Structure 1
């Protein structure tokens, strides 16, 4: 069995998923273990492993309440760096609803069910799913999403965010999109996030509550944490398919 055919969970993708979750005390308690997993698996080049180690070290020495405030200000206020992937592809159009249905169907046909309500395009959840697939399939899944990942990463880099390295890591694993230069130019030319500038207006108009999986999100959800449930017996694995229209 080659590396690309292996089906053991990829710890590095799970670590990135966890680091993109809303910071909680249990995350801080697991930082040493997360850092060790990235180093031991060696899924990423040495420089990116070092940078992720630096991020983890910064998290370790930063007060939890500061981390939580920074996270909410970054990811939960506005849409420019939203961790809901289809928001960057479809916005609030009807196409987004169908894309959600297709993605849930993909999860289910690979033997996974969500145990509580969650938007399936939430990046930490998507990474959790990808981490359970063979390496070549995970690369293809993330490759489909690469333009969105690159755009979020560029916007984070322009904000000087510590989280930017996680998107660099995902692109290193999956491959950068062919139009990366255009994405960088787009991000550099953008003005202020309109959803932040007009926050009060959007809050009045929005009726959707975004819930977060397994300890992720802003901590305002009252649902039980989400985890993957593998049915017994597991369903038949379908042929690979794109969930981003590729």
Structure 2
């Protein structure tokens, strides 16, 4: 797409660009199919514990019943492998791909902010987005864990629900590249997800190349700002930070005699 003329007012250019990235209006059937794809990717990206591996037949049947789409084809490529593996082998492979390799970690804000204070802000903002939509994650995982983000996208729909996925498009591309380089079947799940997002721009590709070569920002401060804003330090713009409680009023003890009162 050619650049918009500079003579167009900035607000108009912004709205046009937003319209370009906004998902097209979907039919109810298309919206349901999109939500199913997101839920399946969310489920299949979770740790393959006994409950998930016991449901492999049902998950495979759900994929096979989907209309023929690029996303469904990628999902089928994953479930063919997933159903054929020994459960212990699945667990080992999952840990190797997602727990031991930083470039295929499933925590999206890491790719955008690294281990910096800004990551804490991003986590809080994402959690606030969930709460504003009336959704409680339960706190078992950080709000940027990809299966959590995918479940929210499936529940809230392609507009605001998928906004976090679009925001972290470059991180998703890097995860897909890392899984592809490792020849992991989990690459099919990321490929299925990426078919639902706008195509990457040249700027996206260049940014992913830089991430792959240099990694994200690095500032070893941990995630203290997430959910612990005390006096408002590091709070993102627009965040409501309750005021610090006032110090207790000190009331001197009542005098016990006229002499003590004069003192």
Gaps of 5+ in 2: 1-24, 224-263
Of the structure 1 ranges 149-158 and 30-39, higher mean CA displacement relative to structure 2 is found in: 30-39
Aligned to 1:75: 98
CA shift digits 1:187-235 (9 cap, x unpaired): 7x649x9xxxxxxxxxxx9988xxxxxxxxxxxxxxxxxxxxxxxxxxx
Select which of 41, 47, 61 maps to 1:36. 61
**CA–CA distance in 1 between the matches of 2:82 and 2:29?**
34
**CA–CA distance in 1 between the matches of 2:162 and 2:221?**
34
> Structure 1's 166 and 3: CA in aligned 2 closer, same or farther, altered over 3 A?
same
Indicate the RMSD between aligned Cα atoms, in angstroms: 3.0
Aligned to 1:229: none
CA shift digits 1:53-86 (9 cap, x unpaired): 1311211111111110111111111311110001
Aligned to 1:240: none
Aligned to 1:94: 117
SS in 1 for 2:153: helix
Shift of 1:103: 0.4
Of the structure 1 ranges 108-117 and 29-38, higher mean CA displacement relative to structure 2 is found in: 29-38
Select which of 50, 60, 79 maps to 2:83. 60
CA shift digits 1:157-208 (9 cap, x unpaired): 1111111111111111012321354256447x649x9xxxxxxxxxxx9988
User: Is residue 14 of structure 1 aligned with residue 39 of structure 2?
Assistant: yes
CA shift digits 1:6-55 (9 cap, x unpaired): 8758121111011111112222222232233334443xx63442332131
User: Is residue 24 of structure 1 aligned with residue 11 of structure 2?
Assistant: no
SS in 2 for 1:135: coil
Contact 2:106–2:146 under 8 Å retained in 1: yes
Q: What TM-score, normalized by structure 1, do the two folds share?
A: 0.68
Select which of 124, 127, 151 maps to 2:150. 127
**CA–CA distance in 1 between the matches of 2:204 and 2:26?**
30
> Structure 1's 207 and 118: CA in aligned 2 closer, same or farther, altered over 3 A?
same
**CA–CA distance in 2 between the matches of 1:180 and 1:165?**
20
Q: What TM-score, normalized by structure 2, do the two folds share?
A: 0.64
Contact 1:51–1:165 under 8 Å retained in 2: yes
User: Is residue 147 of structure 1 aligned with residue 174 of structure 2?
Assistant: no
Aligned to 2:253: none
**CA–CA distance in 1 between the matches of 2:130 and 2:163?**
15
**CA–CA distance in 2 between the matches of 1:121 and 1:181?**
22
**CA–CA distance in 2 between the matches of 1:153 and 1:91?**
18
**CA–CA distance in 2 between the matches of 1:15 and 1:92?**
30
For the pair shown, the structure with the greater C-alpha radius of gyration is: 2
> Structure 1's 15 and 85: CA in aligned 2 closer, same or farther, altered over 3 A?
same
1:153-232 mapped onto 2 (5 Å cutoff): 153-178=176-201, 179-182=203-206, 185-186=209-210, 190=213
CA shift digits 1:74-126 (9 cap, x unpaired): 11113111100011111110011111110000000001112234211000011
Aligned to 1:3: 27
